[in-house]
Each structure stands twice: as structure tokens, then as C-alpha cells.
Amino acid sequence: MNVFDIIGPVMIGPSSSHTAGAARIGHIARQLLQEEPAAAQIVLYGSFAKTYKGHGTDKALIAGILGMEPDDPRLRFSPRIAREQGLDVALSTGELAEGHPNTAVLTLTGRHGGTITVRGSSIGGGNIVIDAINGMPVHISGQHPSLIVQHRDRPGVIAEVTDQLADHGVNICNFTLSRRQKGGVAVMTIEMDGGLDEELAARVRALPDVMLCVTLLP
């Protein structure tokens, strides 16, 4: 922790978990979609579902999906801005059997037809965790530069990717891997201390078994 964890962040109120955290979840989902969003389906769970009206959780999520940061003064006008920009938003509430009480599931569809479903939870103080992408378990805090790599589940793919990171002088601070079935599609989430740039992402993207490689910067 440092002094700016105590006095900071600068944010749009009223709640670091229900507003600032929600904006971050929306923003990460937008980055993962990798294109201009045309439609967003938002499902709120737990305390998000119960209190979103008073906390502006819906506005914060939409603002994030539009690419706004948690301190953007336009955040509270985000539903109007979404209409102006042609982003179609559908909001509903649901019940989750398990998971964190402040959870949102966002399904975004891009203008070029891409689609992604992201589940995120706000875990306090504006901190968040993305724990599923397209139903695959991941762990993204958004506090470190991260690479999300979707790839074919074959021997040696992890080594090929981490070799690229090593060549680039990058230190990994968190690594998770998940897959649905052997030989199918797998997802690596790699959080690092620094050194992530487009050149590194392009090198990973060029690997034969890599299907998708997305960079997230904090």
C-alpha cells in the first residue's frame, strides 16, 4: 500500500465498490471485446442487484463499457451517451448460487460481430476481480499489466508463450490456466510487473496455437 491507496483514488461517487469498481469491470470487459461495442447485456447479482439504482452501478458499468475511467464526470450521464453512440443496453437482475455478493455478468457484442461474456466482482475499495470469460475460469485483478491468451490445448504452448515473455525481460507475478476439456480450447491469464507492449503481444499472437491474445493495462 502507498499514500494514494489512503488518499485516493479520485472517483465518481457514491461508492468505491458499487460505483468505481463497477466502472472498472465495464472498462475491462470493453478492452477484452477489442472493438467498439454495439450491444451490452448486463445482469446484476447480489448487492449490485439490490442497490444498483441508488449507487449508480448500472451507470458505472455502462460508462466502463463506453471506455470511461472511474473518475470520468460523464459517468452519471452514461445511459444517454450510450443511446447517442448507438450502444444498445439491456439490464436485468438475477440470482447466483455462489460467488461474490457484488457481481455483474456482461455480454458485449461488437460492431464487427465479436462477442464476449465477462463475469466480474467488486471486492471492496474499488478493487475488482474478473473470474470468468466466456464461461472459462480466469483471475484478473486489473492491477497489473495482463495478457489474456486463448489457445489450443497442446503440449508446449505455455512454454512458447512464457519464452516470449522471458525474451522480453518480463517478470510474471500471477499465472492461471484453465480449459474445458483436454485438447480443446484453453485460456492463460498472465499478470506481470511491467514491460507489456504491443510488440510482445504481437509476438504471442503470432504463435501457431494462439487463437486470441488481449492486453490489459491497469
Partner 1 sequence: MPEELNYHSLAGLVAAAETAGQPLSALVLRQQAAQLEQTEEEVFHHMEENFRVMAACIEPGCDPDLRSASGLTGGDACKMRRRVEEGKNLTGPVMGGALYRALAVSELNAAMGRIVAAPTAGSCGILPAVLLTMQERGATEHDCVMSMFTASAVGLVIAENACLAGAQGGCQAECGSAAAMAAAALVELGGGTPRMLDDAVAIALKCQLGLVCDPVAGLVEIPCIKRNAAGASIAFMAAELALAGIGSRIPADEVILAMRRVGNTMPSALKETAEGGLAATPTACRLCKQVFG
User: Which residues contact partner 1 by CB under 8 A?
Assistant: 1-16, 19-20, 47, 50-51, 53-56, 59, 71, 73, 75-76, 124-126
Q: How far is the CB of 165 from partner 1 (least distance, A)?
A: 22
DSSP codes, 82-141: HHHTT-EEEEEE---SSS-SEEEEEEEEETTS-EEEEEEEEEETTEEEEEEETTEEEEE-
Which residue, 72 or 187, is less far from partner 1 as judged by CB? 72
Q: How far is the CB of 80 from partner 1 (least distance, A)?
A: 14
43 close to 105: Cβ distance less than 8 angstroms: yes
Burial of 68 (0-12, 13-18, 19+ CB in 10 A): buried
Q: Is the separation of the CB atoms in 103 and 129 below 8 Å?
A: no
Nearer to partner 1, 16 or 162 (CB): 16
Distance set, CA 62 to CA 73, 166, 190 (Å): 13, 37, 26
Question: Minimum Å distance from CB 8 to partner 1?
Answer: 6
The distance of closest approach from Cβ of residue 41 to partner 1 in the complex, given in angstroms and rounded to an integer, is 22
Q: Which is nearer to partner 1, 7 or 97 (CB)?
A: 7
Q: Which CB, 6 or 97, lies closer to partner 1? A: 6
- Give residue 167's Cα distance to chain centre: 27
Please, what is the angle between helix 46-55 and helix 57-65, to 10°? 90
Q: Which is nearer to partner 1, 53 or 182 (CB)?
A: 53
Residue 144 Cβ vs partner 1, minimum distance, rounded to whole Å:
16
Min separation Cβ 18 and partner 1, Å: 8
Is 27 or 151 the residue whose CB approaches partner 1 more closely? 27
Cell numbers found for residue 145: 499489466
